Structure 1
Amino acid sequence: MFLINKNNNRIEKISEKTFTELGFKERENLQEWLADNPTALGEELLIIQKEFSGFSDTNERLDLLALDKQGNLVIIENKLDDSGKNVTWQCLKYASYCSSLKKSQIIKIYQEFLNKSDSALKAEESISDFLDGLEIEEITLNSGLTQRLMLVSGSFRKEVTSTVIWLLNYGIRLQCFQATPYALEEQLFLNVEQIIPMKEAEEFSISMAEKTQEDIASQKEIKNRHIVRKKFWNQVINRMNSKSDLYQNISPSRYNWIGAGSGVRGVGYNFTASKNYGRAELYIDRGDKTENEFVFDSLLSKKETIESKFGEKLEWERLNNKRACRIKYEDTNFNIFEPDTWELTIEKITTGMVNLEKAIKPHLNEINRKVKAL
């Protein structure tokens, strides 16, 4: 860092120092400076306690406790020239302790802080003024998991910065500030710079953290969907096995379908289920569109006989824009993710599958001989 001398159009080097070589202490100096002027941390903060130790079953104490302009608690932990390797864990503990503090407790903590400084201020009035004049009854303090963490140090170890960056991806609101003293002859200067997340990239870091949380939530949702599907298919298979041997060797799946062979390559008796329908179907996909359509058209030519034996109308889908074809029996009053819809649909589609096999099976052997001759 350099000082610009306008008179002689020169710059003078300002020497970077350490707090230790200048004789400064963590509690007596750095902590007091930030408590007196918290805007050094880049925003308006209301310091409500120093050396706070009001935790149950522990004698630990955090350096500074503050409120931000949204009423969130801010835990500020200071180190001098070296962050040490445990500061992240230390700060996380303090945040967990503070997460349960109620509004009335926060007001009491702040009032005790004001009383120590012989201030005539009232905590409720001071908090109200800080939060733009809102009435204390309208103010929400320390809502949910909104606690913020600020780490201040002359330097940060790699194990600290690595952990902080990892925690940011999980929505932990954590900032690192590098505090560097400088000297020019008898003048001393202090530079406090946010290094994690970088101020210029803070919005991007927040959006990436939000995306990470969305991805995690999506993974959890997918896992839950797999669990639900397996449970559903297990019930379908059990019901099916009480009526037919078709699914005797089939296992539950995490996918939205399960299938059993018909004895003809590429033609299967499938169940499919989604949040919109439950279905029993003959699915035709031999890997060749011409062969698929031949099988389908051959069965379609016997539609009246098949539906008569099935006992109801079926839906015949040649799917001209796709390779596969299918013949289906469907229940649309169903959502696989709403178990109270399962019972009726399971009974309906398993009965449908039994009838579908009986109606179609007599025709498949003849069609299989013909399709092999294509």
Structure 2
Amino acid sequence: MQEWIAKQPDVLGEDLLIIQKEFNGFDSTQERLDLLALDKQGALVIIENKLDDSGRDVTWQALKYASYCSGLSKANITKIYQQYLDSNSSNIRAEDSISDFLDGQDYDELVLNKGVTQRIILIAAKFRKEVTSTVLWLMNFKIRLQCFRATPYAMGDELFLNVEQIIPTQDAEDFMIGMAEKAQDDIESQTQQKNRHIVRKEFWSKLIPAMNASSSNLYQNISPGIYHWVGAGSGVRGVTFNFVITKSYCQAELYIDRGEKIENKTIYDKLFDLKAEIESRFGGALGWERLDEKRASRIKASMPANIFDKDQWDSMIQFMTDAMVKLELAIKQPLSSIGSELRQSS
């Protein structure tokens, strides 16, 4: 069956260039993969054949071979293919054959075996459930795996081989690849989210002690969290002194959200009427955001920064703590007066 597929690889449903049989060019191992090929995208294809039963360990075996082959350079691949051609008494140059196979592209400009593009094809008369289960699970991680059932027939002196793709089924292949990409995107998103939480908590664990070492008592009872903001009460319900960190900026802010848009805008407008006085106490300009299209409003001091660049953390912490201390001093007294007015009116 191996010879049959080597001579006619298109039985696997695509154009493949067989570049070696029984390849054993793995450092310090005696293992041999059945067939090694290139596809039309220049990716290596590891082909493992089993005469009858797939066996329990074929997926592990193929994954090992794929990992070994992932380190093969363009020069390695060309050398391996040239050895294969020479063993078949061919006078063809590997560079020319590869170039012709990849639609006449200039060999010097070809990119082969890029990144983690390696593919695996498994061929057997029947597949065990543990193999098909593993293959379907691995496909969720964007690993290109295909299983083909090969059934030989004899009619007199003639032999026939029926090769049928069973995983993924040809009709469902595009759908399954799309599902695998979505599953991998979900996994990557979860991993990134977890990493972001870890980074943020580490940053807050440094900023809050720095804030508590200042003249302000705002954050004395605040613990580090995992979100992109952390806040402390101002003494007025629904109005908080927040720190905010993102990939593009960091800021200290007064955030106004009492649950009622009219109340929020009233507080903001009263503070805005004192803008000159507040900025004078603060010692510089502030960002005033009434946010008419939203329920909340904010007053902020911000600077460009990236929370995920730890080299920026010292300057970020210095800026944010200084800004928060000054923001509290500039706003707390007029905010307290506004809070008293609101309580009396209610």
TM-score range, shorter chain: 0.7 to 0.9
Offset of 1:153 from its aligned partner?
A: 0.9
Deviations 1:294-317 (A, max 9, x none): 444454555554444333444444
SS of the residue corresponding to residue 287 of structure 1 reads coil
Offset of 1:241 from its aligned partner?
A: 1.6
CA distance in 2, matches of 1:303, 1:136: 68
- Is 2:32 the partner of 1:57? no
CA contact (8 A) 1:274 1:335 kept: yes
Q: Where in structure 2 are the equivalents of 1:221-240 lying within 5 Å?
A: 221-240=192-211
After TM superposition, the score normalised by the length of structure 1 is 0.80
Deviations 1:100-129 (A, max 9, x none): 233343333333333443444444444344
CA distance in 2, matches of 1:207, 1:286: 44
CA contact (8 A) 2:254 2:300 kept: no
Offset of 1:258 from its aligned partner?
A: 0.9
CA distance in 2, matches of 1:278, 1:55: 51
Which one of the candidate residues 146, 151, 162 is aligned to 1:180? 151
Residue type matched to 1:281 in 2?
A: E
Gaps in structure 1 of 5+ consecutive residues:
1-29
CA contact (8 A) 2:288 2:300 kept: no
Deviations 1:124-147 (A, max 9, x none): 444344334445444443333222
Residue type matched to 1:145 in 2?
A: V
Gaps in structure 2 of 5+ consecutive residues:
none
Inter-CA distance 372–87: structure 2 relative to 1 (3 Å threshold): same
1:155 match: 126
Q: Where in structure 2 are the equivalents of 1:1-374 lying within 5 Å?
A: 30-134=1-105, 136-182=107-153, 188-243=159-214, 244-300=216-272, 302-326=274-298, 328-373=299-344, 374=346
SS of the residue corresponding to residue 105 of structure 1 reads helix
CA distance in 2, matches of 1:363, 1:333: 29
CA contact (8 A) 1:128 1:134 kept: yes
Inter-CA distance 99–337: structure 2 relative to 1 (3 Å threshold): closer
CA contact (8 A) 1:294 1:371 kept: no
CA distance in 2, matches of 1:99, 1:276: 36
1:13 match: none
SS of the residue corresponding to residue 180 of structure 1 reads strand
Inter-CA distance 363–77: structure 2 relative to 1 (3 Å threshold): same
CA distance in 1, matches of 2:193, 2:96: 49
Inter-CA distance 107–353: structure 2 relative to 1 (3 Å threshold): closer
Inter-CA distance 324–116: structure 2 relative to 1 (3 Å threshold): closer
CA distance in 1, matches of 2:314, 2:28: 52
Offset of 1:261 from its aligned partner?
A: 1.3
CA contact (8 A) 1:229 1:336 kept: yes
SS of the residue corresponding to residue 319 of structure 1 reads coil
Inter-CA distance 178–241: structure 2 relative to 1 (3 Å threshold): same
Inter-CA distance 167–246: structure 2 relative to 1 (3 Å threshold): same
Offset of 1:366 from its aligned partner?
A: 4.5
Quote the sequence identity (%). Answer: 60
Residue type matched to 1:354 in 2?
A: V
CA distance in 1, matches of 2:98, 2:290: 71
Offset of 1:260 from its aligned partner?
A: 0.9
Inter-CA distance 32–300: structure 2 relative to 1 (3 Å threshold): closer
Offset of 1:251 from its aligned partner?
A: 2.2
Which of 1 and 2 has greater Rg? 1
Offset of 1:202 from its aligned partner?
A: 2.4
CA RMSD of aligned residues (A): 2.9
Inter-CA distance 331–36: structure 2 relative to 1 (3 Å threshold): same
CA contact (8 A) 1:329 1:349 kept: no
CA distance in 2, matches of 1:303, 1:369: 19
Offset of 1:267 from its aligned partner?
A: 2.0
CA contact (8 A) 1:267 1:283 kept: yes
Residue type matched to 2:304 in 1?
A: N
CA distance in 1, matches of 2:115, 2:288: 54
Inter-CA distance 92–256: structure 2 relative to 1 (3 Å threshold): same
CA distance in 1, matches of 2:287, 2:227: 23
CA distance in 1, matches of 2:65, 2:205: 47
CA distance in 2, matches of 1:294, 1:65: 73
